[in-house]
């Protein structure tokens, strides 16, 4: 007994020939005929008294959007020689238009140096929107800020690395003063926005030049700092305090944090203003205690040094 389920005659004939091969115990030929049937989009099911044909399920369609890779699967190039003068790095958790604005500014004021642009994107944007000169690392949604940042940093091929937020828009050559500062081997991290603390509980803005931390709106360091101080702590799923913690690790490694003015406009920080107040308070508190877990009592790393006994944390 046979059932062809409306299969083309070519497929039915192959199924008949396969049945004959099985009847004569020529199983190699039967397997080859089955493969031909499968290639035509059908499968043959043996059953008592005969066989039947069933159409194969169509292959699952590729998901729309770019192919996303998990951060741990992003190939690191940090052990390879630098191939650019500078790497510029963004994380896109939304508001890709801000990064497009920043890219336009850096392209307009790039000077004669070689520049690598890297975007770590968790939103599923079409990589083409950023431009052919941008390396886009497409990542799963919800992986956390530091994991996304590190995925991009692992692709750094520049001698100097700039960690950037989309709120920063260049109005001139931003890289030149940062490069100049980093020629001093004692400087580990620099940028235009710095903060200091007296008690490791509260931080305030400082024009420096010496500061306790450089804010993550724009941080610059030599590529080898990713070896000396490591990547960002991936427990920081929200960006707050991750820059302070990283700056303290740079200082713990024996380097200085420096404020360096640059020609740039600082626009609204979208993630802060678009995160519900109770949620950002929860994440900020969690991140702060993450920082304290490692640097509680480390007044030796601060500009002010040890505070009076009653002011210590």
Q: Which helix or strand (DSSP H or E) is residue 13 part of?
A: helix 9-23
Which residues touch 116 (CB under 8 Å, ≥6 apart)?
Answer: 83, 84, 86, 87, 88, 135, 156, 157, 158
What's the token pair of residue 195? 């903060």
pLDDT recorded at residue 49: 77
Q: Which residue ranges in the chain fall short of pLDDT 50?
A: 1
Q: At what angle do helices 145-153 and 242-252 cross, to 10 degrees?
A: 50
pLDDT recorded at residue 65: 66
Compute the distance between CA of residue 303 and CA of residue 208 in angstroms, rounded to an integer: 10
Q: What phi, psi does 87 have (nearest 5°)?
A: -110, 130
What would the pLDDT profile of 167-202 be if each residue is shown by its tens digit? 999 999 999 999 999 999 999 999 999 999 999 989
Compute the distance between CA of residue 278 and CA of residue 273 in angstroms, rounded to an integer: 12
Domain parsing of the chain, residue ranges = 2-55, 71-301
Percentage of the chain surpassing pLDDT 70? 94
What would the pLDDT profile of 12-36 be if each residue is shown by its tens digit? 989 899 989 888 988 888 888 988 9
pLDDT recorded at residue 69: 85
Of the options 3.30.420.40, 3.20.20.10, 1.10.150.120, 3.90.550.10, the CATH number for the domain spanning 71-301: 3.90.550.10
pLDDT recorded at residue 179: 97
Compute the distance between CA of residue 77 and CA of residue 262 in angstroms, rounded to an integer: 28
pLDDT recorded at residue 67: 80
pLDDT recorded at residue 310: 58
Contact by Cβ (8 Å): 263, 175: no
């Amino acid at each position: 007994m046979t059932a062809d389920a409306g299969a083309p005659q070519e497929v039915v004939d192959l199924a008949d020939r396969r049945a004959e091969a099985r009847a004569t115990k020529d199983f190699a030929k039967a397997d080859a005929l089955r493969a031909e049937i499968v290639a035509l989009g059908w499968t043959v099911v043996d059953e008592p008294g005969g066989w039947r044909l069933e159409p194969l399920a169509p292959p699952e369609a590729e998901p729309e959007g770019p192919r996303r890779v998990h951060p741990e699967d992003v190939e690191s190039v940090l052990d390879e020689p630098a191939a650019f003068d500078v790497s510029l790095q963004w994380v896109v958790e939304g508001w890709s238009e801000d990064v497009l604005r920043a890219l336009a500014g850096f392209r307009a004021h790039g000077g004669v140096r070689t520049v690598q642009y890297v975007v770590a994107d968790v939103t599923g944007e079409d990589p083409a929107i950023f431009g052919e000169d941008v390396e886009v690392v497409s990542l799963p949604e919800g992986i956390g800020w530091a994991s996304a940042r590190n995925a991009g940093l692992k692709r750094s091929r520049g001698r100097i690395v700039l960690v950037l937020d989309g709120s920063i828009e260049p109005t001139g050559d931003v890289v030149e003063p940062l490069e100049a500062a980093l020629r001093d081997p004692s400087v580990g991290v620099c940028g235009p926005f710095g903060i200091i603390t007296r008690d490791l509980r509260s931080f305030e803005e400082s024009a420096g030049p010496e500061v306790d931390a450089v804010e993550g709106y724009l941080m610059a360091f030599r590529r080898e700092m990713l070896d000396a101080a490591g990547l960002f702590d991936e427990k920081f799923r929200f960006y707050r305090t991750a820059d302070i913690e990283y700056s303290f690790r740079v200082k713990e490694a024996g380097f200085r944090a420096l404020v360096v003015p640059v020609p740039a406009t600082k626009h609204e920080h979208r993630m802060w203003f678009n995160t519900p107040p109770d949620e950002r308070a929860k994440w900020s508190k969690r991140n702060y205690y993450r920082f304290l877990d490692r640097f509680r009592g480390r007044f030796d790393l601060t500009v002010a040094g040890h505070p009076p006994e009653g002011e210590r944390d």
